[in-house]
Structure 1
Amino acid sequence: MNIELENHKLEKRLCREVGRAIVDYNMIEEGDRVMVCLSGGKDSYGLLDILLKLQQRAPVKFELIAVNLDQKQPGFPEHVLPEYLTKLGVRFHIENQDTYSIVKRVIPEGKTLCSLCSRLRRGILYRVADELGATKIALGHHRDDILQTLLLNLFFGAKLKGMPAKLVSDDGKHVVIRPLAYVPEKDLVRWAELRQFPIIPCTLCGSQENLQRKQVGNLLREWEKKYPGRVENMASALQNVVPSHLMDRALFPFETLRATGVPDDSGDKAFDDEPVAAPAAQPCAAPAPQGNPAAPRAVIPIATEAS
């Protein structure tokens, strides 16, 4: 196997999938100032790296500014990110806030720290986005993170809810984007090894081995091993929702539903014997709008050029 060729294919695939997500959800527009949240983990490093590549060939002009929140965790190597970003020539801002002490003081020993830590971090990043004049906030959540969240909400929250690729922030003032929404974690692992990112482990929550998210992540990895294509199909399902075949009365008018006498191809076929479809060639492909199956998909010029 030609390692150089495989690495080149990986880079093209990452650029293609990130570019596809950006176009599908109109994540980045002309003149945007994108605040890339950089934690020091492989995902956020990969996000910044790919956005820098796409910035050079994109049909629109946009700025990137990397932001790291130094939460004052004991032993955090505060020199690593500034040195890396300076060498890269990327504009950056380091925000110093001691959220570590707050979390450790408020959360009882042995309890999950993530929820409070996440809320504190989110509020600080929204404020920083305001101060920097950022028009978009980019987070490094990938496809597997989105599926983990879907299963966590299903198993423990009694909700069909995942992580959207694009949303308005809690305070209503910011647009949050997830350009890695189509990217599997395994590709980011390989990319981090190839690019030799200076990874900074999270000592705050990284040692909590019994987190439900970790257990669900292990479940997805086991499924992918035993049943190749299952995870891709799950990701595609997030873009192929049929409200009439769920039970949410806010999404579909079940109360006013009446027989029309007109055959309906999308009727009750839930228990029909239908062959299992093979995994799609391009997982997470956005379907054409309902009622117009022939509608063309957006072309992604920034993702089709050779790296």
Structure 2
Amino acid sequence: MEADGAVPLLLRNAPSSVEFKKLRKRLLRQARQAMDDFGMVGPPSADGARPKWLVCLSGGKDSYTLLAVLIELKWRGLLPVDLIACNLDQAQPGFPAHILPEFFEANGIDHLIVRQDTYSIVTDKIPAHKTYCSLCSRLRRGILYRIAREQGCEAIVLGHHRDDILETFFMNLFHGGRLASMPPKLINDDGDLLVLRPLAYSAENDIAKFSRAMDFPIIPCNLCGSQDGLQRDEVKRMLQLWEKESPGRLSVMARAMGNTRPSHLMDGEIYDFASLRPGAAIDTPVGLPVNASSDALVGEAEEPCGAGLAMTANLFAAK
């Protein structure tokens, strides 16, 4: 990734406004924080070689922003990782196959373009009135794993952001009957590759603003986008409405994803409710500090709940 003067080629035409600079710094800061919090960058190998990441580019706003953030962090000496941008051309009808290669070449970005027809498989296996996303995603992920292994990468890096993670949480809650989402870092089933999401702390609205300001050549997903009424779209609209009615709510919910209380849920697999008895010793459940007090483990929350205090005040207010 060659640089032009004081910035990487990709950022040579970036806006110079104060507002954009603040946005750019915020995205960089959030990505660094996510990488630090979840230990995304491992140590160099025994022979001193740096880790290598396969950065997956779909041509959407999220993956363009991800690539720009990683390139700038590397350029600033804050990301000791080698990057390979990769686009998987899934042979969707009308896909503009020239856009990403031209973008990579113009910006001096190491890249791979891999064409594999998953479109025919998906449309053959899934009825037209059903959503394609699940099968399409599985096929794409398997191919990307293979490419990462061939390139000697330790991780594939995806552009999922805070809002994607919240949407997935509510999809699992409403339709899957479980509390789960997309983690910022996970290891694949074979145990040989990491899946990383450095934009886990970044809001979709910020990413959209950044992408528009950078004038990235966006490629829409016609395969998925042509289907109306997707459950994820419904969840997205719900979250957007909540944020509109109560600004900052999504940030609060995102913080909650990293602030769980197993003793205040209902999963006996991660908290031993059956053994709880007055005066009995309490084992610290997964995710809580070893020196946590018994009150923090099984009693009330450590700090009063703001909503609870407001409800109590209203209950006892003079009529």
**What is the TM-score when the length of structure 1 is the normalising length?**
0.86
Residue 287 of structure 2 corresponds to none
Aligned residue for 1:132? 151
| Aligned match for 1:13, one of 26, 35, 41 | 26
**Which of 62, 84, 88 is matched with 1:43 structurally?**
62
* Runs (5+) with no aligned partner, structure 1: 278-307
Is the aligned partner of 1:76 residue 2:105? no
Match of 1:265 among 285, 295, 302: 295
Residue 275 of structure 1 corresponds to which residue in structure 2?
A: 306
Counterpart of 1:69 in 2: which secondary structure? strand
Give the secondary-structure state (helix, strand or coil) at the position aligned to 2:223.
coil
Match of 2:169 in 1: 150
Counterparts of residues 43-62 of structure 1 (less than 5 Å) = 43-59=62-78, 61-62=80-81
Output the amino acid matched with 2:150.
E
* Residue 159 of structure 1: how far off its partner (Å): 0.3
> How many Å apart are 1:111 and its aligned residue?
0.6
Runs of 4+ with deviation above 6 angstroms: none
Q: Which residue of structure 1 aligns with residue 315 of structure 2?
A: none
CA distance in 1, matches of 2:69, 2:90: 26
Q: What's the CA shift for 1:25?
A: 0.8
1:238 is displaced (CA, Å) by 0.6
Greater length-normalized contact order (CA 8 Å, ≥ 6 residues apart): 1
For 2:82, the equivalent position in structure 1 comes to: 63
Match of 2:179 in 1: 160
Distance across 2 between alignment mates of 1:189 and 1:207: 21
TM-aligned CA deviation for residue 245 of structure 1: 0.6
3-state secondary structure, aligned to 1:65: strand
Match of 2:236 among 214, 217, 242: 217
Q: 1:59 and 1:111 mapped to 2: Cα distance?
A: 44
Residue 94 of structure 1 aligns to a residue in which SS? strand
- 1:202, 1:76 → 2: CA distance? 9
Q: Secondary structure at the match of 2:109?
A: coil
C-alpha change, 1:261 and 1:137, in structure 2 (3 Å) is closer
What secondary structure does 1:205 align onto? helix
AA of the residue aligned to 1:265: D
98-107 or 250-259, which deviates more: 250-259
Secondary structure (helix, strand or coil) at the match of 2:224 reads: coil
1:183 paired to 2:214: no
Alignment of 1:102-113 (within 5 A): 102-113=121-132
Deviation at 1:135, TM superposition (A): 1.0
Range with greater deviation from structure 2 (126-135 or 23-32): 23-32
Q: Give the match for residue 223 of structure 2.
A: 204
Assess if the C-alpha contact under 8 Å between 2:53 and 2:81 holds in 1.
yes
Give the corresponding residue for 1:24: 37
**Could you tell me the TM-score, scaled by structure 2's length?**
0.82
Q: How far apart are residue 254 of structure 1 and its match?
A: 1.1
Match of 2:249 in 1: 230
Matched AA of 1:76: F
Partner of 1:288: none
* Distance of 1:225 and 1:59 partners within structure 2: 35
Q: Deviations over 1:76-134 (max 9, x none)?
A: 01010000001111110111100001111111111110011011111101000111111
Supply the AA of the counterpart residue of 1:222. L
Q: Deviations over 1:205-240 (max 9, x none)?
A: 012221001110111110000011211111000110
Say if 1:179 and 1:60 are closer, same or farther in 2 by CA, change over 3 A: closer
Q: Which amino acid aligns with 1:142?
A: H
Q: Secondary structure at the match of 1:155?
A: helix
Label 1:60 to 1:19 Cα distance change in 2 as closer, same or farther (>3 A): closer
State the match for 2:286 in structure 1. Answer: none
Is the contact between residue 70 and residue 79 of structure 2 (CA under 8 Å) also seen in structure 1? no
Query: Aligned Cα RMSD in Å?
Result: 1.9
| CA distance in 2 between partners of 1:42 and 1:60 (Å) | 22
* CA distance in 1: counterparts of 2:132 and 2:102, whole angstroms: 29
- Counterparts of 2:304 and 2:198, CA distance in 1: 37
- The structure with more radius of gyration: 2
